A and B are shown apart, each in its own frame.
Chain A
């Protein structure tokens, strides 16, 4: 389309291909829903919270911002330690899991709640029981080993991971997947609509005729309705037809 394209043309194109756009978008959403609910294995999450405290000796003193900063640094350090082989190896042993450290590491994420001294260990697993077990084991191993590693005993278990009655998976998130599919499907469909429009070299409007062919429009005839009083004329015509043969 070498000619300039107006907003009206764009809207017209979209409206003409509305069916196509709706079908493609709906298909994308349905596909995402199917994959999310049927094909993908649900993943469950469990989390253990650890409290990182200042050592007992310092506990009487008031916190200064400096000290708070130090304890935040500590938490960051702990985060790295938790996902290191030093912790994960013994945890694996204890769990009797046939799994590499890297695999286990990919299941574990450590986060600190903002402006607090709490470290949260999150574990994702296809089995909700296993997720809880792994989270608690890592928490316990860490709590023990940190004494050796850093010569401190300031980590206490705040809340252990527990198995909920009806664990709900954290992944896949069907709603999110469907949302993404909706957007992607819509973009693809609109793109396709414009591609088809671009490839379509047919004449559509009065302007097309006058611009491209340089001949005037004598009339525009709307699409004929499929049936309208069809019976009336059929009978009249038949009669007339016979008359003609007679003549």
Chain B
């Protein structure tokens, strides 16, 4: 299955390469993800952020990469982390971590499989992955169901952090439905690609459902050289 998945997606290697926080812990990008981790940890003072949704306005802005690397850096602190592929339209997490997608989130939510038996361990300590599972005909209804809520509660009891990789906000309603259910939402913006209007629309959509929008991750940012020297010269 793993091999099949690989041949099906030409981007499989790229997806793996994108797990840079594990591949190259001393890279500037890993450091930037650690900054993200710190800022998320400090984003909420009263209530600990446990369940975090990662989304973006449009496809291809780096949601999955951000979700995967955020999960990795959180696990590197010793916290138990679960990365959930809640993108039931175009799941990719199983490619990135090379795990089976025969059973996953949809099976757990519909009660076909127990959570603990379905999650896959990864090569990274403390990091488990829950792939999407079979793509259901009604992802929005599934994510908005009371069973989904129960799943979040159950997972919250088992893990310190649960990161949800989701479809784009402007494309489907899934992230809006989930955002209301989760502690915090991170909006991924790709520098030079995300259009201002699209991003504004995404922010408005998330605010409409009273999502706790923690902030934005600016992806694919071309940093000026001076910045690199200032912050990462020692790396």
Taking beta carbons and an 8 Å cutoff, which residues of A are in contact with B?
Answer: 200-206, 208-209, 212-225, 227-230, 232-234, 236-245, 247
B22: chain A residues at CB < 8 Å are: 233
Task: Determine the distance from Cα of A219 to Cα of B29 in the docked complex, in whole angstroms.
Answer: 10
Residues of B within 8 A of A213 (CB): 199-200, 203, 216
A-B contact pairs, 21 of them (CB 8 A): A201-B196, A202-B194, A202-B195, A203-B196, A203-B218, A204-B191, A205-B191, A212-B196, A212-B200, A217-B218, A218-B35, A219-B33, A221-B62, A222-B29, A223-B221, A224-B29, A228-B17, A230-B13, A237-B123, A240-B121, A242-B2
Q: Are B16 and A209 touching (Cβ within 8 A)?
A: no
A203:B120 contact, CB within 8 angstroms? no
Band of interface residues on B: 35 or more
If A238-B2, A245-B100 are given as contacts, then 20 extra A-B residue pairs at C-beta distance below 8 Å, sorted by A number, are A205-B218, A208-B196, A213-B216, A215-B213, A215-B215, A217-B216, A218-B214, A218-B217, A219-B35, A220-B217, A221-B32, A221-B221, A222-B221, A223-B222, A230-B13, A233-B22, A236-B123, A237-B122, A240-B97, A241-B99
Interfacial residues, chain B to chain A (CB-CB below 8 A): 1-2, 13, 16-20, 22-24, 27-29, 32-33, 35-36, 39-40, 43, 62, 65-66, 97-100, 120-123, 186-187, 189, 191-197, 199-200, 203, 213-223
Interface residue from A206, A212, A227, A228 paired with B199 (Cβ < 8 Å): A212
Query: Judging by beta carbons under 8 Å apart, are A216 and B216 in contact?
Result: yes
- Of the candidates B43, B191, B220, the one whose C-beta lies within 8 Å of that of A218 is B43
Interface of B is mostly: mixed
Nearest CB to that of A233 among chain B residues? B23
